[in-house]
Homo-oligomer: A and B are copies of this chain.
């Protein structure tokens, strides 16, 4: 049975679990099978991005808040370096917002490494109650989703999200230590060394960067691919599934979004995504953007399929996408980071590489 068949209804209407409207008309509304509409928007007050040297030399280099001059950031190992990215992203966000960590009620954090050690040691110092997450490279969307639900549900006034990746820690975690001189096919992506943190609130502060008005949460989608050197193709079905479901749940069309932005499908995955959606009658070719394609210049930086990693989507969201919304160049985007759910153990044991995606509707204030 094709993935999409389960959503077809005999009467043509989407099947769903539409929660009854609560008494207050501004209450968030569950839509369709897997979406939520925040009638009272969630304010994305502030954010900050911290990236490595290669990212600083890329097309978006001037837009990031902090660019390292040393990818070890003065640490003794790559994992500690990645922790400092998260620590600095949170710290910089709080500084920019003139906000104290004691007033952040919850923190949503995760990264790519086994047992999320980059997050643990990076965020520990802030002593914020923590909801630890794992969504692979979809973590930025996953964290913004849960954080928005927390705000909209009335559980907090201020929460933060943070995620990161690091090229060297990821190579060591998923492929080989750098010293092995591993070869990379053209379909391979380059894990971004980067982190971004986001401060969300139910209070509109002067200068809020954007608003989150809805989310569509993905399920695991597995088309049976096994090539860990072609993550884009592995993840494209999950992105297609959640974009399709999003537009059904919200009854929207591609032209209503200035951009539909994936995290790190890269050049190969982009082709797959457009094809898959076209088969469902959805054409996003005019307005699809991929953070992994934007963050590096393959011609000069030899990054093959593009950037990847939790930090890719997060850093580009903070530095580039939110800026476009603030400037008014864009009014509304669908931000859809995707994750490839594998480990070196699952890969070596011959498992497939399933994908997952989490979509967030972000609009100008």
Contact = CB atoms under 8 A, between A and B. Distances in A.
Contacts of A110: 134
A312 to B, nearest CB: 17
A30 to B, nearest CB: 6
A28 interface: yes
A247 to B, nearest CB: 16
B77 A6 contact: no
B80 A130 contact: no
Given A30-B105, A115-B342, 5 more contacts: A22-B24, A28-B154, A30-B155, A79-B345, A113-B345
Contact of A117 (B36, B113, B351): B351
Interface residues of A, number: 71
B345 A129 contact: no
Given A115-B343, A154-B27, A346-B121, A219 B134 contact: no
Interface string A14-28: 010101001110011
A90 interface: no
Contacts of A152: 153
A206 interface: no
A153 B154 CA distance: 7
A346 B153 contact: no
> What is the count of identical protomers in the complex?
2
A220 B123 contact: yes
Interface in A14-61: 15, 17, 19, 22-24, 27-28, 30, 33-34, 36
A162 interface: no
A307 interface: no
A130 B152 CA distance: 19
Interface of A: 6, 15, 17, 19, 22-24, 27-28, 30, 33-34, 36, 76-77, 79-80, 102-103, 105-106, 110, 112-117, 120-121, 123-124, 127-136, 142, 145-146, 149-150, 152-158, 172-173, 217-220, 222, 341-346, 349, 351, 354, 356
- Counting from the closest, the 6 A-B pairs by CB-CB distance are A153-B153, A114-B114, A115-B343, A34-B129, A129-B217, A120-B341
A128 B356 CA distance: 11
Contacts of A6: 102, 127
A117 B343 contact: yes
Given A23-B24, A142-B132, A220-B130, A343 B17 contact: no
Contact of A354 (B112, B120, B155): B120
Given A132-B356, A155-B19, A354-B120, A217 B114 contact: no
Nearest to A143: B131
A153 B28 contact: yes
Contacts of A129: 33-34, 217-219
Nearest to A117: B346
A157 B114 contact: no
21 contacts: A6-B102, A19-B157, A22-B154, A24-B24, A27-B154, A30-B105, A114-B343, A114-B345, A115-B134, A115-B136, A115-B342, A115-B346, A121-B346, A127-B220, A130-B218, A132-B133, A132-B356, A133-B133, A133-B134, A149-B153, A150-B153
A34 B341 CA distance: 31
A96 to B, nearest CB: 21
Nearest to A23: B24
Given A24-B23, A105-B17, A106-B217, A134 B154 contact: no
A208 to B, nearest CB: 19
